[in-house]
Amino acid sequence: MGMDKYDLCVIGGGPAGYAAAMRAVDFGKKVLLVEKEKLGGYGIYDGALASKTMWELSNKIRTVRDEIGEDKRIDLTFEKVREIIDEALFERKFQLSCHLRIIHAEKSLVQYEKGEASFISSTEILISKENGDSFSVKAENTIIATGSSPRKLKGIDVDEKTILTSDGIMHLDKFPKSMVILGAGVIGCEFATMFSNFGQTKVYLIDKADRILPFEDEDVSDMVASNLESSGVVIHRGAQLLRMENRGDHIEYEIENKDGSKEVIQVEKAMLSIGRTPNIQKLKLENAGVEMSKRGVHIGDEDTRTNIPNIYAVGDVSGHLALVNVGEREARHAVVKMFADFPVKPIHYENISTIMFLNPEVAAVGINEQQAAGLKIPIRVSKVDYSTIARAIAMRKTDGFFKIIVSDDEDMKILGMRAVGEHASSAIQAVALLMYMNKGIDELAHMIHPHPSIVEGVQECVRMLIGKSVYKSSIFKDKLKCYKRTVDGEVLPLHTITENPVANLNREKMRELNRTDFHEGIKQLT
Nearest to 162 by CA among 268, 305, 285, 290: 268
Which pLDDT score, from 0 to 100, does residue 298 have? Answer: 46
| Residue pLDDT, tens place only, 26-35 | 999 999 999 9
- Residue 347 inside a domain? The answer is no
Domain of residue 409, CATH code: 3.30.390.30
Q: State the Cα–Cα distance between residues 81 and 255, nearest whole angstrom.
A: 32
- Give the residue ranges of DSSP H helices in 422-484: 424-427, 429-436, 442-446, 455-466
Domain of residue 184, CATH code: 3.50.50.60
- Residue 512 inside a domain? The answer is no
Q: Is the dihedral of CA 281, 287, 288, 290 positive or negative?
A: positive
- Residue 515 inside a domain? The answer is no
Which pLDDT score, from 0 to 100, does residue 501 have? Answer: 45
Question: Domain check: are 95 and 32 in the same one?
Answer: yes
Which pLDDT score, from 0 to 100, does residue 512 have? Answer: 58
Beta carbons of 19 and 328 less than 8 angstroms apart: yes
Question: Domain check: are 78 and 123 in the same one?
Answer: yes
Q: Summarize the confidence of residues 245-264 as an average pLDDT.
A: 94
Does residue 214 have a pLDDT over 80? yes
Q: State the Cα–Cα distance between residues 441 and 71, nearest whole angstrom.
A: 45
| Residue pLDDT, tens place only, 49-81 | 999 999 999 999 998 888 887 666 778 999 999
Which pLDDT score, from 0 to 100, does residue 224 have? Answer: 96
- Residue 518 inside a domain? The answer is no
Does residue 515 have a pLDDT over 70? no
User: Per the structure, how many domains does the chain have?
Assistant: 3
Q: State the Cα–Cα distance between residues 132 and 126, nearest whole angstrom.
A: 12
pLDDT band at 44 (very low <50, low <70, confident <90, very high): confident
Percentage of the chain lying above the pLDDT 70 cut: 91
Does residue 294 have a pLDDT over 90? no
| Residue pLDDT, tens place only, 190-207 | 999 999 999 999 999 999
Question: Domain check: are 263 and 172 in the same one?
Answer: yes
Question: Domain check: are 254 and 270 in the same one?
Answer: yes
Q: State the Cα–Cα distance between residues 30 and 24, nearest whole angstrom.
A: 8
| Residue pLDDT, tens place only, 373-430 | 999 999 999 999 999 999 999 998 999 999 999 999 988 999 999 999 999 998 998 8
Does residue 489 have a pLDDT over 90? no
Which pLDDT score, from 0 to 100, does residue 93 have? Answer: 94
Which amino acid does the sequence have at 331? Answer: A
Does residue 245 have a pLDDT over 50? yes
Nearest to 314 by CA among 1, 16, 107, 521: 16
Question: Domain check: are 245 and 376 in the same one?
Answer: no
Does residue 498 have a pLDDT over 60? no
Which pLDDT score, from 0 to 100, does residue 318 have? Answer: 87
Which pLDDT score, from 0 to 100, does residue 500 have? Answer: 45
Q: What is the mean pLDDT of the chain?
A: 89
Q: Summarize the confidence of residues 271-300 as an average pLDDT.
A: 81
Question: Domain check: are 409 and 434 in the same one?
Answer: yes
Taking the model in full, what pTM does it have? Answer: 0.89
Does residue 480 have a pLDDT over 70? yes
Nearest to 195 by CA among 208, 182, 220, 176: 176
Which pLDDT score, from 0 to 100, does residue 504 have? Answer: 47
Which pLDDT score, from 0 to 100, does residue 70 have? Answer: 63
- Residue 388 inside a domain? The answer is yes
Q: Name the least confident of 79-83, 291-295, 519-523.
A: 519-523
- Residue 346 inside a domain? The answer is no
Question: Domain check: are 92 and 199 in the same one?
Answer: no
Which pLDDT score, from 0 to 100, does residue 302 have? Answer: 67
Question: Domain check: are 193 and 85 in the same one?
Answer: no
Question: Domain check: are 250 and 388 in the same one?
Answer: no
End residue of a domain, out of 249, 274, 299: 274
| Residue pLDDT, tens place only, 339-376 | 999 989 999 888 889 999 999 999 999 999 999 999 99
- Residue 219 inside a domain? The answer is yes
Which pLDDT score, from 0 to 100, does residue 503 have? Answer: 45
Question: Domain check: are 324 and 435 in the same one?
Answer: no
| Residue pLDDT, tens place only, 296-328 | 554 545 689 898 999 999 999 888 888 999 999
Percentage of the chain lying above the pLDDT 90 cut: 70
HSE at residue 7, side-chain half, CA atoms within 13 A, is 17
- Residue 519 inside a domain? The answer is no
- Pick 499 or 61 by higher pLDDT: 61
Question: Domain check: are 122 and 168 in the same one?
Answer: no
Which pLDDT score, from 0 to 100, does residue 523 have? Answer: 56
Domain that holds residue 143: 5-150+277-339
Does residue 240 have a pLDDT over 50? yes
pLDDT band at 106 (very low <50, low <70, confident <90, very high): confident
Question: Domain check: are 113 and 198 in the same one?
Answer: no
SS3 490: coil
pLDDT band at 496 (very low <50, low <70, confident <90, very high): low
End residue of a domain, out of 238, 256, 274: 274
